[in-house]
């Protein structure tokens, strides 16, 4: 036999793409050619495959070898093709039975000693293999739990090329790998809200953020507890549903962020990049292109500490993802859509010295310097932040007082109940929060009484609120009402929501 075909895969964005590895052994001087738009890591596979085949005890073909990766018009990158290429070569020489290759996904990077190393993107490729009707997948052991999340696909983890060959040649296959669909909760190790003294308004804002998915900004003097508060938000968030967990795991799988043995991410991600981050790292990019922080925070939280210190273009990259819940990354010859349904939480000082508006210390910055510092964060970005909270420094009495007795678990129970109301409200579309309501849904689910309409009209006129801010106030009021039991929006709910637009009322960032 001089020809064989194996099935492997790659990713486009966070979607899987199956690739047929066609192997032809021709006459002529021994050589190894790969066609089908391979990148450098794919072309280098010939050296890894040659060494792995020989160190595994198999004969390497002394022929003119041609490897075609189909479809040939799609760029191929990564080392996940190694296993399919090696098995295809052995099948072309008759050293491996070829009858199972057409129905089996093969993915993995080969070590020179024949071992199998994990690769990224296993989950979306396995899902695509199941959709295409393939019956089985052979993957590295470290990727076994991840691939086993796909129902209807028999997954066989392997540690080496020799093990894969023995598996394909066996008369009877062993039992496939199974994965636990209930991941391990990390709540026990998270910082608790009861550690924070006073700051009751900021804690209330955290509860609203967790319940409705609203964007949040803490600003105030250094040492007031802005970062301390923000890092307790994960302890208030309920676990992801199975469908949400699959979405999140797909993104992290493609980005290569899954640690060994982790099959499913069950807790909302909490991403906190440093303020030196570039635009491409924030939005996503590269030759892939690969997910950035806005996608890695999908279904979770993106926390930006020292907001005004971030590069302006990195902050402006947030505007479309915050509005649309997705981002298009375009490169020459390809364009991919990545999900970005995250909650933005940020913290910043109001001026370079940090004490503008503080009671205990006076600000040393001139008005021009303070204005220039605040202008690093654009008005359109601030307009997309629902809850804007000034966090005041604690007094000596507050510092000496005992911590708040209410733990994160108690707040989390209220958040779960409020999210249950939203799940019923937005069924059957599912997995929606109040913060993501469309304008039509705002009109439908946020009706106001005459007194409430008058209050909102006065707020718009006095604060100069935009139409976007108008809608966001109603969304926050809807979440406040949900935390109160899910009834109609009362004037008290609306007044509280208006108070959270404190940057407009205090005119700090103008």
126-130: Cβ within 8 A, 24+ apart: 126/16, 126/150, 126/153, 126/155, 127/16, 127/250, 128/9, 128/15, 128/16, 128/17, 128/18, 129/7, 129/9, 129/16, 129/18, 129/105, 129/153
- Is the fold of 3-169 the same as that of 187-429? no
Position 502 confidence tier, pLDDT thresholds 50, 70, 90: low
Task: Write the burial class of residue 285 (CB in 10 Å: 0-12 exposed, 13-18 middle, 19+ buried).
Answer: middle
Whether the Cβ atoms of residue 8 and residue 128 lie closer than 8 Å to each other: no
Q: How confident is the model at residue 509 (pLDDT cuts 50, 70, 90)?
A: very low
Question: What integer is the mean pLDDT of 93-105?
Answer: 89
Question: Per-residue pLDDT for 371 more than 70?
Answer: yes
Residue 507 reports pLDDT greater than 80? no
- Percent of the chain at pLDDT exceeding 70: 95
112-151 per-position pLDDT tens digit? 999 999 999 999 999 999 999 999 999 999 999 899 999 9
From 8, 234, 300, select the one nearest 139 (Cα to Cα). 8
Q: Looking at residue 181, what is its pLDDT?
A: 56
Q: What is the pLDDT of residues 325-341, one digit of tens each?
A: 999 988 776 788 999 99
- Whether 166 shows a pLDDT value over 80: the answer reads yes
pLDDT over 60 (residue 376): yes
pLDDT band at 449 (very low <50, low <70, confident <90, very high): confident
CATH 2.60.34.10 fits 3-169, yes or no: no
Separation in Å, CA 185 to CA 143, 182, 264, 266, 497: 20, 9, 11, 7, 32
Domain ranges of the chain: 3-169, 187-429
- % of the chain residues with pLDDT over 90: 69
The mean pLDDT of 278-294, rounded to a whole number, is 88
What CATH superfamily classification does 187-429 receive?
P-loop containing nucleotide triphosphate hydrolases (3.40.50.300)
Which residue from 325, 315, 320 is spatially nearest to 378, judged by alpha carbons?
Answer: 315
Average pLDDT over residues 291-298: 96
Q: What is the pLDDT of residue 510?
A: 39
pLDDT confidence bin for 258, thresholds 50/70/90: confident
Looking at residue 464, its pLDDT comes to: 83
- Average model confidence (pLDDT) for the chain? 90
The pair phi, psi for residue 460, each rounded to 5°, is -60, -45
When pLDDT is averaged across residues 282-302 and rounded to a whole number, the result is 90
Integer distance in angstroms from the first to the last C-alpha of the chain? 74
pLDDT for the residue 259: 73
* Model confidence band, residue 185 (pLDDT cutoffs 50, 70, 90): low
Tokens representing 41 are 């890591």
**pTM score above 0.75:** yes
| CA atoms of 304 and 296, how far apart (whole Å) | 14
- Are 52 and 114 in contact, with CB atoms under 8 Å apart? yes
Reduce the DSSP state of residue 446 to 3 states and report it.
coil
Flag whether pLDDT at 182 surpasses 80.
no
Q: In the 8-state DSSP scheme, what is residue 54? A: H
CB contact at 8 A, 116 and 109:
yes
Report the SS3 class of residue 404. Answer: coil
**pLDDT beyond 90 at 97:** no
Rounded Cα distance between 75 and 105, Å, is 19
Residue 431 has pLDDT above 80, yes or no: no
pLDDT classification of 503: cutoffs 50, 70, 90: low
**303, 296 contact by CB (below 8 A):** no
Mean predicted confidence (pLDDT) in 400-415: 86
């Amino acid at each position: 036999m001089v020809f064989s075909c194996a099935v492997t895969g790659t990713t486009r964005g966070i979607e899987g793409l199956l690739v047929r590895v066609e192997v032809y052994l021709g006459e002529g001087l021994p050589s190894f050619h790969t066609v089908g738009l391979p990148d450098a890591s794919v072309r280098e596979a010939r050296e890894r495959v040659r060494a792995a085949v020989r160190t595994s005890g198999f004969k390497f073909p002394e022929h003119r070898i041609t490897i075609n990766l189909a479809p040939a018009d799609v760029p191929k990158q990564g080392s996940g093709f190694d296993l399919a290429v090696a098995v295809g070569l052995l099948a072309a020489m008759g050293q491996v039975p070829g009858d199972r290759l057409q129905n089996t996904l093969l993915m993995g990077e080969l070590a020179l000693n024949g071992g199998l190393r994990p690769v990224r993107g296993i989950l979306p490729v396995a899902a695509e293999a199941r959709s295409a009707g393939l019956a089985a997948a052979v993957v590295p052991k470290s990727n076994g739990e991840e691939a086993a999340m796909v129902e209807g696909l028999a997954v066989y983890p392997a540690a080496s090329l020799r093990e894969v060959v023995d598996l394909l040649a066996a008369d009877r296959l062993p039992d496939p790998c199974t994965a636990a669909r209930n991941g391990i909760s990390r709540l026990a190790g998270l910082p608790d809200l009861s550690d924070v003294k006073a700051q009751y308004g900021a804690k209330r804002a955290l509860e609203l953020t967790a319940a409705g998915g609203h964007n949040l900004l803490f600003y105030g003097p250094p040492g007031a507890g802005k970062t301390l508060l923000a890092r307790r938000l994960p302890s208030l968030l309920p676990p992801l549903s199975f469908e949400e967990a699959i979405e999140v795991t797909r993104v992290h799988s493609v980005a290569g962020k899954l640690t060994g043995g982790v099959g499913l991410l069950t807790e909302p991600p909490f991403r906190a990049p440093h303020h030196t981050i570039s635009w491409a790292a924030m939005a996503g990019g590269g030759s892939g292109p690969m997910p950035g922080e806005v996608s890695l925070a999908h279904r979770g939280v993106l926390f930006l500490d020292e907001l005004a210190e971030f590069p302006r273009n990195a902050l402006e990259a947030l505007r479309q993802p915050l509005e649309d819940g997705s981002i298009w990354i375009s490169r020459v010859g390809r364009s991919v859509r990545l999900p970005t349904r995250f909650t933005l939480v940020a913290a910043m000082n109001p001026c370079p010295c940090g004490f503008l508006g503080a009671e205990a210390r006076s600000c040393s910055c001139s008005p021009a310097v303070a204005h220039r510092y605040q202008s690093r964060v654009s008005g359109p970005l601030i307009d997309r932040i629902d809850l804007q909270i000034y966090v005041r420094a604690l007094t000596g009495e507050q510092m000496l007082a005992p911590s708040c007795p209410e733990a994160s678990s108690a707040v989390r129970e209220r958040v779960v109940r409020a999210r249950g109301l939203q799940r019923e409200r937005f069924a059957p579309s599912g997995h929606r929060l109040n913060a993501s309501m469309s304008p039509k849904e705002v009109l439908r689910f946020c009706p106001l009484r005459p007194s409430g309409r008058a209050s909102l009209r006065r707020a718009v006129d006095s604060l100069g609120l935009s139409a976007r801010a108008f809608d966001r106030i109603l969304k926050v009021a809807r979440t406040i009402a949900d935390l109160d039991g899910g009834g109609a929006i009362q004037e008290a709910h609306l007044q509280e929501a208006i108070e959270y637009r404190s940057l407009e009322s205090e005119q700090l960032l103008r």
